[in-house]
């Protein structure tokens, strides 16, 4: 038996598993190290330089996100040098960032502002004009790229590549003009993009943003109520958070966007697809059925109770079976049903109506 | 799935397609299987690919500007050429230089550009007719026994050094290298033998050797001369290195503008191959596509693999995980060219060639000297000795940059500091690539600094924030300061410089960002009056 390996973080001895990074060890120990370009789903980039820590015997500070923990390593994550580093780094980020905290928050929280505030970075350094190219003519309905807020951390491009294996977007250009682009700056609609919106989810600043809430002037995320639910577009069971504006719909509340729970907390690991993330406008759509309808003697649909509606459906189905035989019935369930609901549909077909004619649209 | 080779082909396929024109990335993606966005990202990174419409580029580096590069660019535009400025073309000894496609035309005169009209193909440089591109080198009449590289010496195709290394065995070669005290000539000065032993000791047996010929540090043009004049030494040095560390594949990465040096190197490889001198060792030539940062060893590997040339995080170092994740020995051209001499004459011979450090060193000197060029002198000569070899100063010395733009500026009273790794580091500067730029008293130091800051802003890869934002921030601040000085009053334009410089040095991933503030901070320290 080998002893568990240990290192020290700010003098505290911590055990770690082989393969863990300094950041992972610190996070597990509840010790906060700021990050911007880090997403646990992605290979570490070490590019934003926010997570630099001191390691005994190392001349240069090292990125905690990309430095493997080794036995006996003595790490310092709070010191005068590190504090100076965080302050001046965030001040530089701010100099290259649009002014105005509130404006920057309309999409999602802007971690540049959050970290600058946390570390009391100077806010009076001269601002630089934005020179990063965006794609203002990209008419895709969902994903906005605001180049002014981009910090070129490449979380979006790495996510698109490493998690989705789509690679619709890339770092483009060089130096201070480095930006996020598609091939030939085409609209995302003309690329391999699947509109999953994972780029929005992983973006730390709101540079990748969702168009709908921005167009409808949604409130900052901190003023919204999150309600956890299960996506009902298919049977995978992705968890998602409905972001509800409590004052919307005349005080009844209105879903203004959908976000995925943090990576590592649910089975979908922070991922959603185009339907789960963006197709929520049906919730308040005027065509949406909110009560069962039953056709009256005049042939017109009339609102009815659930028991009335189910009664009418049962009568109709049993009538067909009686007149034409059980196999005259067929049941098709929806990919929007859960696995359990699909199980119940086939159970009903076989046990209640006595037919094996049952199918589900996602099976073809 | 695209293979490693498919990806590696991308930059040169983009070049063959005439650069990143609309539709090219998509078409190439269909051929290679590499995602189209990735290809676009690669093409947009390298300026020889990203601006396919540009016909000629005029170097706007410090030495070329001192020689009228701005007027040359203006003349090219007036002639109707699609002309842009560009960064250093490794022709600081023959300024101003112009790049037509991949061909450098050095020491170009205004009338030579004007005479060509709107036809870039008609531009002729009297200084470098036909396929010749070579500058002044020296010393002219020295005993070759005292020169490790000997640029003017006769070419040697015998393969004697390789044969001797083979008979000695790798361990003895490593020992000889250690005794020689050879430090890397690319800029960092890292002891060569440590790298060699590092690669040779890896468990992984697939190993590579890379020649770093991406010479681009402003003020530096020595590798150009080595490739042009002693390609025999370079190829034999590579073969010695490959055999010693157990590699069979050698990759040579030449900056794209080295069209003529490429021919010289390729010719030498062909000649050695024809004579069967280095059995079992294959040489591959790759052209850079326009990015100074690819002189950084891990950025170079990214570019060789077909990616955007952004440096990797270290550790792991290339000796352990280099090209395609395999142990890799990478050396600068000059370092490699020292090897045949060390093997044949012994490490002690090489070490004793130097004065305050081991070996002779190729010093590049440009700016206000009589005969700019490359001079092989004992490591540790002083500026005055170097300039004397180069025909003397042409004005009164005000400042000098001892090792390229990255080394900042030193004042005239540092002229006695030995030009070596240690002594210059102690002055807060560095020997770097030994690209010495001499400035006389006519030069406005704030102006000179501005040129260097423009260089780093243009060549920052953009990966890490301190360098990406810091290089631009400093350049903008200096511009604001100079405008304020020229205008009504001076403000606080330089108030954040010290803090930003600290951040760039502490926070940047690679040496570019770590050094990029030095031209400004060193000038503020040594020439405060220039910023008053």
Give the rounded percent of residues in chain A with a pLDDT score beyond 70: 96
Partners of residue A177 in chain B, C-beta under 8 Å: 462
Is residue B355 in some structural domain? no
| Strands ordered across the beta sheet of A62-63 | A12-16, A5-9, A74-76, A52-55, A62-63
Question: In whole angstroms, how far apart are CA B103 and each of B67, B98, B505?
Answer: 20, 8, 35
Q: Which pLDDT score is estimated for A104?
A: 47
Structure tokens at A279: 């197709």
Q: Can you give the pLDDT at residue A331?
A: 96
Tell me if A174 and B508 make a contact (CB, 8 A cut-off): no
Q: Do A52 and B509 touch (CB under 8 A)?
A: no
Pairing of strands A143-145, A208-210: antiparallel
On whether both B435 and B449 belong to a single domain, the answer is no
- pLDDT greater than 90 at residue B333: yes
Contact B230, B376 (CB under 8 A): no
Contact assessment for residue A191 and residue B36, using Cβ atoms and an 8 Å cutoff: yes
Asked if residue B129 has pLDDT above 90, the reply is no
User: Whole-angstrom Cα distance, residue A159 to residue A154?
Assistant: 8
Pick the CATH number of A224-284 from 2.20.25.90, 1.20.200.10, 3.40.50.1220, 2.40.110.10: 2.20.25.90
Give A-chain residues touching B507 at CB under 8 angstroms.
49, 52, 61, 85, 88-89
CB B166 within 8 A of CB B149: no
Q: What are phi and psi of A227, to 5 degrees?
A: -120, 120
Q: How far apart are CA B362 and CA B233, in angstroms?
A: 14
Residues of chain A positioned with their CB less than 8 A from the CB of B308: 171
**Percent of chain A at pLDDT above 90?**
81
Task: Dig out the tokens for A64 from the structure.
Answer: 């905690």
A293 C-beta neighbours (distance < 10 Å), count: 12
Within 8 A of A157 by CB-CB distance, chain B residues are: 37, 41
Are A81 and B506 inside 8 Å of each other by CB?
A: yes
With CB atoms and an 8 Å threshold, state whether A49 touches B47.
no
Q: Out of A49, A182, A191, name the one closest to residue B507 (CB).
A: A49
Beta strand A239-245 with A225-230: parallel, antiparallel or unpaired?
antiparallel
B313 plus B332 within the same structural domain: yes
Q: Find, in chain B, the residue whose alpha carbon is nearest to that of A67.
A: B315
Domain ranges, ordered by start, for chain A:
5-78, 89-215, 224-284, 289-324, 325-364
Contact between residue A67 and residue A39 where contact means Cβ atoms under 8 Å apart: no
The CA radius of gyration of chain A, in Å to the nearest whole number, is: 26
Q: For residue A335, give Cα distances in angstroms to A196, A228, A362.
A: 18, 21, 5
What is the SS3 assignment for B357? coil
Answer with the one of B323, B350, B377 that is the final residue of a domain. B350
The phi, psi pair for B156, rounded to 5°, reads -125, 110
**CB of B35 closer than 8 Å to CB of B25:** no
Buried b (16+ CB within 10 A) or exposed e, B481-503: bbeebeeeebeebbebbebbbbb
Q: pLDDT at residue B141 above 70? A: no
| B132 part of a folded domain | no
CA gap A26, A65 in Å, rounded: 10
Q: How confident is the model at residue B504 (pLDDT cuts 50, 70, 90)?
A: very high
**Contact residues, chain A, for B35 at CB < 8 Å:** 161, 167, 192
Residue range A247-286, pLDDT digits in tens: 989 999 999 889 999 999 999 999 999 999 999 989 999 9
User: Cβ neighbours of residue B230 under 8 Å, at least 6 residues apart?
Assistant: B149, B150, B151, B153, B155, B337
Q: What is the mean pLDDT of residues A211-219?
A: 75
Give pLDDT tens digits for B7-59.
Answer: 999 999 999 999 999 999 999 999 999 999 999 999 999 999 999 999 999 99
H or E, element range at B397: strand B397-401
List of chain A residues whose C-beta atoms are within 8 Å of the C-beta of residue B311: none
Bridge partners (DSSP) listed for residue B211: B252, B331
Q: Count the neighbouring beta carbons within 10 Å of the beta carbon of residue B78.
A: 11
Q: In chain B, pLDDT over 90 holds for what percent of residues?
A: 93
Distance CA A242, CA A34 (A): 27
- CATH number, domain of B428, equals 3.10.20.600
Strand-pair category, A74-76 with A5-9: parallel
Which helix or strand (DSSP H or E) is residue B253 part of?
A: strand B249-254
CA closest to B459 among chain A residues: A175
Averaged confidence pLDDT in chain A: 93
Residue B375's CB: how many other CB atoms inside 10 A? Answer: 27
Residue B366 has pLDDT above 60, yes or no: yes
Same domain, B272 and B367: no
Answer whether B318's CB lies under 8 Å from B333's CB: no
B318 in the same domain as B233? yes
Instruction: Report, at the CATH architecture level, how domain A5-78 is classified.
Output: Roll (3.10)
* Inter-chain CB proximity B37 and A181 less than 8 Å: yes
Specify burial of residue B342 (Cβ count, 10 A radius: 0-12, 13-18, 19+): buried
B342/B475 same-domain check = no
List CB contacts of B475: < 8 A, sequence separation 6 or more: B450, B453, B454, B456, B457
- Give the helix/strand (H/E) hosting B363: strand B360-367
Range B142-162 average pLDDT: 91
Strands B98-100 and B137-138: unpaired
* pLDDT tens digits, one per residue of B409-436: 999 999 999 999 999 999 999 999 999 9
Token pair of B87, please? 């960064």
Query: Cβ of B508 and A49 within 8 Å?
Result: yes
A79-138 confidence digits (pLDDT tens): 999 999 999 999 999 999 988 755 545 667 899 999 999 999 999 999 998 899 999 899
Please answer yes or no on whether B40 and A175 come within 8 Å at the CB atom: no
User: What's the CA angle centered on A123, arms A117 and A129, to 5 degrees?
Assistant: 120
Per-residue pLDDT, A232: 84
- Answer whether residue B130 is part of any domain: no
Pairwise CB contact (< 8 Å): A183 & B39: yes
Closest by CA position to B323, among listed B284, B365, B350 = B284
Residues from chain B that touch A192, judged by Cβ atoms under 8 A, are 35-37
CB under 8 Å, gap of 24 or more: what pairs does B489-496 form? Answer: B494/B524, B494/B531, B496/A91, B496/A125, B496/A126
Q: What is the pLDDT of residue B490?
A: 58
- What are the b/e assignments for A148-161, b being 16+ CB within 10 Å? ebbbbbbbbbbbbb
- Of the residues A184, A190, A204, the best mutation for testing chain B's interface (the one with the most B CB atoms within 10 Å of its CB) is A184
d(CA A271, CA A257): 15
Residues 6 or more apart whose CB falls under 8 angstroms from that of A279 comprise: A233
Q: Are B271 and B230 in contact (CB under 8 A)?
A: no
Q: Write the CA distances from B514 to A178, B87, B131, B408, B456, integer angstroms.
A: 19, 19, 38, 12, 11
A145-149, A193-197, A299-303, B485-489: the lowest-pLDDT one: B485-489
* Residue B95 lies in domain: 56-122
Asked whether residue B368 falls in the same domain as residue B384, the answer is yes
- Tell me which residue in A96, A171, A176 faces B41 most closely, judged by beta carbons: A171
CB–CB contact B40 A181 (8 Å): yes
Tell me the shortest Cα–Cα distance from B233 to chain A, in angstroms: 35
d(CA B103, CA B291): 16
Identify the sign of the CA torsion A177, A182, A188, A193.
negative
Across B501-522, average pLDDT: 97
Please check whether residue B294 lies inside any domain of the structure.
yes
Give the residue from B404, B419, B440 where a domain finishes.
Answer: B440
E strands in chain A: 5-9, 12-16, 52-55, 62-63, 74-76, 143-145, 170-172, 179-181, 208-210, 225-230, 239-245, 254-259, 293-295, 301-303, 331-333, 358-360
A185 has a pLDDT exceeding 60: yes
- B129 falls within a domain: no
Q: What's the total number of domains in chain B?
A: 5
**Whether residue B342 is found in the same domain as residue B435:** no
Q: pLDDT-derived band of residue B404, with 50, 70 and 90 as boundaries? A: very high
For chain B, give the percent of residues with pLDDT over 70: 99
Q: Are B87 and B109 in contact (CB under 8 A)?
A: no
* Rounded mean pLDDT, B136-146: 80
> How big is chain B, counted in residues?
532
Looking at the fold, whether B170 and B277 belong to one and the same domain comes out as yes
Q: Nearest CA of chain B to the CA of A162: how many Å? A: 13
Interface list for chain A against chain B, based on CB atoms closer than 8 Å: 46-49, 52, 60-61, 63, 66, 81, 84-85, 88-89, 91-93, 95-96, 125-126, 128, 151-152, 157, 161, 167-178, 181-184, 191-192
Those residues whose C-beta lies under 8 Å from the C-beta of residue A30, and which sit 6 or more positions away, are none
Q: What pLDDT does B330 receive? A: 98
Chain B residues within 8 A of A88 when measuring between CB atoms: 499-500, 502-503, 507
| Alpha carbon A286 to chain centroid, angstroms | 27
The CA distance from A276 to the nearest CA of chain B, in Å, is 25
Smallest CA-to-CA distance from B304 within B329, B284, B327, B286 is with: B286
Whether the ω angle into residue B19 lies within 30 degrees of 0, i.e. cis, is no
Is B356 among the domain residues? Answer: no
Alpha carbon distance B295, B243 (integer Å): 24
pLDDT over 80 (residue B130): no
Does the distance separating the beta carbons of A176 and B471 come in below 8 Å?
Answer: yes
Q: What does DSSP say about strands B137-138 and B373-378: parallel, antiparallel, or unpaired? A: parallel
- Reply yes or no on whether the pLDDT at B131 is more than 80: no
Residues B40, A172: C-beta atoms closer than 8 Å: yes
CB B44 within 8 A of CB A172: yes
A341-361 average pLDDT score: 93
Query: Which of B41, B461, B499 lies closest to A175 in CB terms?
Result: B461
Instruction: Please indicate, yes or no, whether residues B255 and B281 belong to a single structural domain of this protein.
Output: yes
Residues whose CB is less than 8 angstroms from the CB of residue B16 and which lie 6 or more positions away in sequence, other chains included: none
Q: A8, A31 in Cβ contact below 8 A?
A: no
CATH of A89-215, one of 3.30.70.20, 3.40.50.2300, 3.90.170.10, 3.30.70.580: 3.30.70.20
User: Residues of B with CB below 8 A from A21's CB?
Assistant: none
Is residue B477 a contact partner of residue B437, using CB atoms and an 8 Å limit? Answer: no
Q: φ, ψ for residue B287 (rounded to 5)? A: -100, 130
Q: Do B464 and A49 touch (CB under 8 A)?
A: yes
> Do B344 and B369 fall within a single domain?
no
Closest CA to A90 of A54, A119, A52, A47: A119
- CATH number, domain with residue B493: 1.20.1440.230
**pLDDT at position B126:** 86
Any domain includes B163: yes
Tell how far CA A363 is from the center of its chain: 27
Lowest-confidence region among A71-85, A186-200, A232-246, B253-267: A232-246
B500 and A92 in contact by Cβ < 8 A? yes
**Token pair for residue B391?**
């025909």
Token pair 């965030």 in the structure block, residue: A90
Of A48, A167, A171, the CB nearest to B465: A48
Preferred mutation among B21, B27, B32, B37 to probe A, highest tally of A CBs within 10 A:
B37
Q: Nearest by CB to B472, from A93, A128, A170: name it.
A: A128
Q: Is the per-residue pLDDT at B315 higher than 50?
A: yes
Considering the domain architecture, whether residues B183 and B227 belong to the same structural domain is answered as yes
Contacts of A151 in chain B (CB under 8 A): 465
């Amino acid at each position: 038996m080998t002893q568990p390996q240990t290192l020290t973080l700010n003098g505290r001895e911590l055990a770690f598993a082989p393969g863990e990074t300094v950041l992972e060890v610190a996070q597990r120990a509840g010790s906060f190290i700021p990050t911007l370009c880090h997403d646990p789903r992605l290979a570490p980039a070490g590019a934003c330089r926010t997570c630099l820590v001191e390691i005994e015997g190392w001349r240069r500070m090292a990125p905690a996100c990309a430095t493997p923990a080794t036995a006996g390593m003595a790490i310092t994550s709070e010191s005068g040098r590190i504090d100076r580093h965080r302050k001046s780094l965030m001040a530089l980020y701010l100099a290259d960032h649009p002014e105005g905290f509130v404006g920057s928050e309309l999409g999602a929280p802007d971690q540049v502002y959050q970290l600058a505030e946390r570390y009391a970075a100077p806010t009076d350094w001269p601002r630089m004009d934005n020179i990063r190219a965006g794609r203002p003519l990209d008419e895709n309905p969902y994903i906005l790229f605001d180049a002014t807020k981009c910090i070129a951390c490449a979380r979006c491009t790495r996510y698109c590549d490493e998690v989705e294996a789509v690679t619709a977007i890339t770092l483009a250009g060089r130096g201070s003009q480095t930006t996020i682009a598609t091939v030939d700056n085409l609209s995302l609609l003309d690329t391999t993009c699947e509109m999953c919106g994972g780029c929005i989810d992983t973006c730390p600043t709101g540079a990748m943003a969702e168009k709908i809430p921005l167009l409808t002037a949604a409130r900052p995320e901190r003023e919204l109520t999150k309600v956890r639910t299960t996506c009902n577009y298919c049977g995978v069971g992705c968890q998602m958070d409905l972001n509800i504006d409590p004052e919307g719909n005349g005080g009844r509340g209105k879903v203004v966007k959908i976000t995925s729970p943090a990576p590592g907390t649910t089975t979908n690991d922070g991922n959603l697809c185009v339907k789960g993330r963006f197709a929520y406008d049906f919730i308040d759509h005027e065509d949406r059925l909110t009560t069962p309808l039953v056709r009256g003697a005049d042939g017109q649909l009339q609102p009815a109770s659930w028991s009335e509606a189910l009664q009418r459906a049962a009568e109709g189905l049993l009538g067909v079976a009686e007149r034409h035989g059980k196999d005259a019935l067929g049941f098709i369930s929806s990919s929007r049903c859960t696995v359990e609901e699909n199980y119940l549909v086939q159970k009903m077909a076989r046990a209640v109506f006595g037919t094996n004619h049952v199918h589900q649209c996602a099976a073809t | 799935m695209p293979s490693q080779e498919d990806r590696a082909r991308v930059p040169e396929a983009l070049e063959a397609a005439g650069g990143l024109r609309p539709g090219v990335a998509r078409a190439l993606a269909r051929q290679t299987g590499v995602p189209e966005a990735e290809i676009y990202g690669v093409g947009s990174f390298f300026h020889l690919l990203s601006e396919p419409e540009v016909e000629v580029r005029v170097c706007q580096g410090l030495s070329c500007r001192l020689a009228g590069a701005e007027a040359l660019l203006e003349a090219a535009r007036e002639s109707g050429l699609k002309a842009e400025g560009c960064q250093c073309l490794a022709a600081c000894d023959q300024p101003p230089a112009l790049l037509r496609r991949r061909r450098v035309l050095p020491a170009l005169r205004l009338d030579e550009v004007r005479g060509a009209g709107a036809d870039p193909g008609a531009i002729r440089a009297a200084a470098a007719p036909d396929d010749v591109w070579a500058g002044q080198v020296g010393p002219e009449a020295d005993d070759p026994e005292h020169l490790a590289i000997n640029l003017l010496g006769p070419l040697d195709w015998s393969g004697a050094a390789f044969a001797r290394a083979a008979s000695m065995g790798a361990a003895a070669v490593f020992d000889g290298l250690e005794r020689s005290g050879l430090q890397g000539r690319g800029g960092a000065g890292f002891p060569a033998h440590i790298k060699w032993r590092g690669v040779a000791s890896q468990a992984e047996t697939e190993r590579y050797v890379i020649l770093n010929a991406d010479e681009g540090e402003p003020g530096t043009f020595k590798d150009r001369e080595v490739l042009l004049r002693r390609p025999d030494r370079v190829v034999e040095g590579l073969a010695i290195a490959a055999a010693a560390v157990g590699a069979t594949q050698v990759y040579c990465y030449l900056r794209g503008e080295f069209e003529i040096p490429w021919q010289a190197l390729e010719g030498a490889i062909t000649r050695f191959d024809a004579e069967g001198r280095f059995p079992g060792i294959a040489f591959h030539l790759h052209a850079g596509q326009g990015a100074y940062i690819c002189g950084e060893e891990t950025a170079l590997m990214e570019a060789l693999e077909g990616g955007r040339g952004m440096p990797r995080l270290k550790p792991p170092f290339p000796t352990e995980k280099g090209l395609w994740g395999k142990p890799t020995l990478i050396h600068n051209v000059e370092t490699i060219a020292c090897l045949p001499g060390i093997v044949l004459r012994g490490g002690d011979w090489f070490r004793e060639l130097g004065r305050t450090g081991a070996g002779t060193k190729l010093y590049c000197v440009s700016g206000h000297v009589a005969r700019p060029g490359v001079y092989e002198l004992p490591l540790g000569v002083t500026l005055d000795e170097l300039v004397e070899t180069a025909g003397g100063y042409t004005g009164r010395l005000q400042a000098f940059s001892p090792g390229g733009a990255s080394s900042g500026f030193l004042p005239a009273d540092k002229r006695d500091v030995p030009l070596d790794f240690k002594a210059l580091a102690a002055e807060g500067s560095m020997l770097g690539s030994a690209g010495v730029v001499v400035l006389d008293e006519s030069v406005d130091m704030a102006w000179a600094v501005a040129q260097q800051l423009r260089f780093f802003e243009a060549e920052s890869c953009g990966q890490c924030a301190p360098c990406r934002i810091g290089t631009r921030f400093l350049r903008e601040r200096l511009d604001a300061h100079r405008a304020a000085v020229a205008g009504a009053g001076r403000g606080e334009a330089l108030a954040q410089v010290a803090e930003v410089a600290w951040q760039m040095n502490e926070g940047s991933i690679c040496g570019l960002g770590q050094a990029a503030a030095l031209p400004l901070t060193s000038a503020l320290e040594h020439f405060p009056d220039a910023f008053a």
